[in-house]
Structure 1
Amino acid sequence: MVYPVNRRWEGELIMKIVKVSERFPYPGPRFKRLGPQSGEEFKAFMLKIFKDTYGDDFTKNNNIILMIDLDGTPGYGSSFLEEGFGGLIREGVPYKLLNSLKIKTDEEPELADEIKEYIDDEYKKKS
């Protein structure tokens, strides 16, 4: 589910929150052929949010920041996170846009750095 936090006023930023646990309460394996609530499904879900928010070419609504709230699940496998976030680079989401994501994870703070590594690693492969 995506929640707008602020409304847009002249020149202000809008933050949208994606609460992962509402759509993926039990994050699963990397690929959907291996089980439900996969990283592959999460990647498709996030790609739709990015395109709905920033347009198909990812250049619109630069005043919107996405916050991904990872709290509220039993945990995340590294394959789920790599496919879900590193996979967005492979799908063409710009590095700058992914780098601007805000990651909320009070329950497992180390996940923010792990996700950043997956994004950075995939970006380096493409460069």
Structure 2
Amino acid sequence: MAKVIKVASDFTRFPYGRYRSQGKFSGEAFRDDVLLPLLKAGQSVEVDLDGTSGLSPSFLEEAFGGLVRAGLEVERILQQVKIKSDDDPSYIDEVKEYVRDAGLVH
């Protein structure tokens, strides 16, 4: 069973930026502090993006595309990570695209 991570309540309603240097609620912080430990332990996750004040492309790319740069394989990420976004369903395809694109250059 997948662990559900609700970004708005489990991380912040105001995710911002790519790197930690841009704030404590960056894509890098979400990836390293929330996603990577679960994925490296073999846990599947459902990331619920609803309820945030908005999600920048830099946050999403670093959080999810950055998983490839952190050493995870594209197919493993796509199997272990499910994205939920009723507020803006386009985020689902956007995240998958970032993961696939990161795999092309990594």
Match of 1:5 in 2: none
Q: Which amino acid aligns with 1:50?
A: L
Per the alignment, residue 19 of structure 1 pairs with 6
Alignment TM-score, normalising by the size of structure 1 = 0.75
Superposed displacement of residue 66, structure 1: 1.8
Give the aligned CA root-mean-square deviation in angstroms.
1.3
Q: What SS does structure 2 have at the residue aligned with 1:18?
A: strand
TM-score normalised by length of structure 2:
0.89
Q: Deviations over 1:53-103 (max 9, x none)?
A: x1xxxxxxxxx5321111110110100000000000000112122112211
Q: Distance in 2 between matches of 1:122 and 1:114?
A: 12
Instruction: Work out whether residues 74 and 99 of structure 2, in 8 Å CA contact, stay in contact via their aligned partners in 1.
Output: yes
- Higher helix proportion (structure 1 or 2): 2
- Contact 2:47–2:82 (8 Å) recurs in 1: yes
Give 1:36 deviation, angstroms.
Answer: 2.8
- Once the two structures are TM-superposed, the CA of residue 24 in structure 1 deviates from its matched residue by 2.2
1:1-127, aligned counterparts within 5 Å?
14-22=1-9, 23-45=11-33, 46-52=35-41, 54=42, 65-100=44-79, 101-126=81-106
Q: Which runs of 5+ in 1 are unaligned?
A: 1-13, 55-63
Aligned identity (percent) is 39
Structure with the greater alpha carbon radius of gyration: 1
